[in-house]
Chain A
Amino acid sequence: MAPITMNHITKVYGDGYPAVNDVSLEIADGEFMILVGPSGCGKSTLLRMIVGLEDISSGDMLIGGERVNEKAPRDRNLSMVFQNYALYPHLTVYENIAFPLRLKGVSDDEIKRRVEEAATTLELTEHLQRKPSQLSGGQRQRVAMGRAIVRQASAFLFDEPLSNLDAKLRGQMRTEILRLQRRLDTTTVYVTHDQTEAMTLGDRVAVMRKGVLQQVASPRELYEQPLNLFVAGFIGSPPMNFLPAAIEDNQVKLPFLSYPLPREVAAQIGDSDLLIAGIRPEHFADSSLVDEHKRDRGTTFEVKVDVTEWLGSQQYAYVPFEAPEEINRHLAELQQELDGEQMRTQMIVSLDPASRIRDGAKAELWLDPSRVHLFDPRTGKNLTRDAKAEAPAATATSSASGSASSAPAPAPASSSAAASSTAPASSAAAPAPASAPASGSAGSAEPPAPDGSLRPT
């Protein structure tokens, strides 16, 4: 068990391309850190540099305060779960789990005790004498975890461990991994491209883009106060809507509505008159279902709904809109980076399933403008990011702007946040959204805040 510190870690390949570019990250002892980003963002490379399978071009990697740059993987005392599990096909499950102990020359009795303990934890006891080829995907995954936990490693590293499982099993194993990590309280670095895993598992989440660290924060902060357009677009499903926002006469003009330009934004934008507005789908509501006391905080406007999708617990409505060429270009680029494809400019609105809005109909929607984020299209920087809204403990990032690497301040308080997160979360509103008046659990039309139930921000 040890903290992991990365100072200006860079990985440059032979062709000069920096796969990981000046990443500084402090992972506290016992913390569950997620590395997330679209494919090719360097998250796996970073993980492989921690474990020692990839050379570090420059920068310092410290594990437990000791520099490990020149150390071979076997001297770093880390354990890793690979995407395809990398089980030894010629060994039984028992011997697979025992493998790291056998290498260290642990006595047979001790091996038996520890393997059986790990097998009990992971419910593998009845499969111990089978070969990996006779196991199902989920069982293999558990064997790989067994091999990781059987020795007292300084940290666990997971490289997209659930991506080869089907959706249902993935959900179960995700909970298992979380439970295991909480129980063992071992520093964990977990690479994934799946944002559900990122949001649910991590004490903190590090979002990467093209080798550069974008933002390191708690899942809630990433969701509610993204640092830039990329993070805003990456975190959240369905994703945040990006609309063109024209600035005229101190008014923000969106395709369907306009509202007064917030003062702190006006101070930042200079003479630019076109911004990108980011609105989460669930921040819209069917105006007929909005509580009276809430209605006054927002504005209502009318749109033409193209298609609706009713999912039982939720309902999505798609509203097409026109956007200027410049904004379209930015959004198409962003979509490409996010592994997506810009098909058409449309807005996704998450509605209460009770809503009667149907395909092709005119609908009156409600929106609280204070929940709208405004981004500078050139830098991608979030102009409405409310630094005060963050819980002080979660402030891990410096105020670096979008394209620059944001060096996270090693916040000692964050580890205490991590520790306290194991405690049952109270239903009291976290300090984070306090300055955003429309948030809170009171509004019945509001969908539940993401990740609100597990840990305070």
Chain B
Amino acid sequence: MTVTAPERETVVAPATAPSYGMSERTRKERRLGWKLTAPAVILMLAVTGYPMVNALYLSLFSYRLTDPSGRKFVGLANYGVVLRDSLWWQDVVTTVIITVVTVAIELVIGFIFAMVMNKIIFGRRTVRTAILLPYGIITVVSAFAWKYAFALDSGFVSNWLGWLVGKNYNWFGHRGSALLVICLEEIWKTTPFISLLLLAGLSQVPEVLQEAAKVDGATFMQRLWKVTIPNMKAAIMVAVLFRALDAWRIFESIFIMTAGAQKTESLSFLTYRQSITRVALGIGSAVSVLLFVTMVIIAAIFLKGFKVDLGTVKGERR
């Protein structure tokens, strides 16, 4: 009581009593909130926080599992090695190409799919299921399916497109064509995800706005660009952000289809090769930390640069 007394004097007199009661209740509520979230927070710290900190720690050492006794503190030298290596930059370029191409194409196709799913009346369930089906297939499985479709021995695509590229075209034998197949597989597989997020945004644009725009004299394209898209901008940015971060980590498709050959290696794949194949834990950790940093930069650009408000996806818009 003696502690609270001077506090109470500083506040405006009449409001003191009730506001004090409220703040006590609020404080209790906040304490309860912390107690309720504590198990989840502890679990997250154990399974996510610890490996991240450990990776950061390991990246400061020259350390190969084949030579545990040779472990030596090298400071930031590993980062210097990675950033000076042209392989890192080549993989950055590969990852950027895959991310930009897939996200751009998926955004367009996903938007068309979302509009179809939003508008369709007959066979709604069938169409929605058909559109969403690829997303339900395990990435490894779909990667194998696409690999077999394009491979020299089992592939039928070369047969179909023989008139264009020659009967025995080796799709995985050139950087461009290999990246093309990888991108196609990514697009086929994850467009449903982006179209789901866009559908959620689309359904938040009231139909009456479309009607008002029709009466105001807007054509379909004018309604799309001047009414629909501006009103679902937040949903679009969130969809692009999620997909970009997802595409930036691409691993399975490359692992299965080319195993990084023909300069199709992505940053995730580089991390894998350093840490697992070469068991160079120091360098591998440095690459994974750098990969993490690039993702933070992408997220920061979206959240700060484009002012994406994640609350809008959940319909918390004022």
CB distance from A363 to the nearest CB of B (A): 52
Given known contacts A86-B208, A88-B209, A103-B222, A53 and B217 CB-to-CB distance under 8 angstroms: no
Inter-chain contact A82/B217, CB cutoff 8 Å: no
Inter-chain contact B230/A90, CB cutoff 8 Å: yes
Which listed segment binds B: A71-79, A176-184, A351-359?
A71-79
Given known contacts A90-B230, A103-B222, A133-B318, A84 and B217 CB-to-CB distance under 8 angstroms: no
CB distance from A65 to the nearest CB of B (A): 21
Provide the A83-97 mask, 1 if CB < 8 A to any CB of B, else 0: 010111111000000
A80 sits at the interface (CB 8 A): yes
**Range for the number of chain B residues in contact with chain A:** 10 to 19
Bound Cα distance from A78 to B216, whole angstroms? 8
Within 8 A of A (CB), among B186-207: 206
A43 sits at the interface (CB 8 A): no
Inter-chain contact A53/B215, CB cutoff 8 Å: yes
Chain B residues whose C-beta falls within 8 Å of the C-beta of A80 in the assembled complex = 212, 215
Given known contacts A100-B216, A100-B217, A103-B218, A86 and B231 CB-to-CB distance under 8 angstroms: no
CB distance from B113 to the nearest CB of A (A): 24
Bound Cα distance from A51 to B211, whole angstroms? 10
CB distance from A212 to the nearest CB of B (A): 26
Chain A residues whose C-beta falls within 8 Å of the C-beta of B213 in the assembled complex = 88, 99
Binding site secondary structure of chain B: helix
Bound Cα distance from A91 to B225, whole angstroms? 13
B66 sits at the interface (CB 8 A): no
A104 sits at the interface (CB 8 A): yes
A147 sits at the interface (CB 8 A): yes
Inter-chain contact B231/A90, CB cutoff 8 Å: yes
The residue in chain B whose Cβ has the minimal distance to the Cβ of A77 is B217
The total of Cβ contacts below 8 Å across the A-B interface reads 58
Within 8 A of A (CB), among B126-143: none
Chain B residues whose C-beta falls within 8 Å of the C-beta of A52 in the assembled complex = 214-215
Inter-chain contact A73/B209, CB cutoff 8 Å: no
Q: What is the number of residues of chain A that contact chain B, defined by CB distance less than 8 Å?
A: 25
CB distance from B25 to the nearest CB of A (A): 31
Given known contacts A103-B222, A133-B318, A88 and B215 CB-to-CB distance under 8 angstroms: no
Inter-chain contact B214/A53, CB cutoff 8 Å: yes
The residue in chain B whose Cβ has the minimal distance to the Cβ of A86 is B212
Bound Cα distance from A147 to B209, whole angstroms? 13
B149 sits at the interface (CB 8 A): no
The residue in chain A whose Cβ has the minimal distance to the Cβ of B216 is A100
Within 8 A of B (CB), among A48-73: 51-53, 72-73
CB distance from A10 to the nearest CB of B (A): 22
CB distance from A59 to the nearest CB of B (A): 21
Chain A residues whose C-beta falls within 8 Å of the C-beta of B216 in the assembled complex = 74, 79, 99-100, 103, 147
Inter-chain contact B206/A86, CB cutoff 8 Å: yes
Contact of A72 among B206, B209, B214, B230 (CB under 8 A): B214
Inter-chain contact A73/B214, CB cutoff 8 Å: yes
Bound Cα distance from A73 to B212, whole angstroms? 10
B37 sits at the interface (CB 8 A): no
Chain B residues whose C-beta falls within 8 Å of the C-beta of A86 in the assembled complex = 206, 208-209, 211-212
Bound Cα distance from A63 to B226, whole angstroms? 28
Chain B residues whose C-beta falls within 8 Å of the C-beta of A74 in the assembled complex = 214-219
Residue from A51, A72, A99 having most chain B Cβ neighbours under 10 A: A99
The residue in chain A whose Cβ has the minimal distance to the Cβ of B214 is A73
Chain B residues whose C-beta falls within 8 Å of the C-beta of A90 in the assembled complex = 230-231, 233
6 closest A-B pairs by beta carbon, nearest first, are: A86-B212, A100-B216, A74-B217, A73-B214, A90-B230, A86-B208
Interface residues of B (CB under 8 A from A): 206, 208-209, 211-219, 222, 226-227, 230-231, 233, 318
| CB-defined A-B contacts under 8 Å, sample of 9 | A53-B214, A74-B217, A78-B215, A82-B212, A86-B209, A86-B211, A99-B213, A103-B222, A103-B226
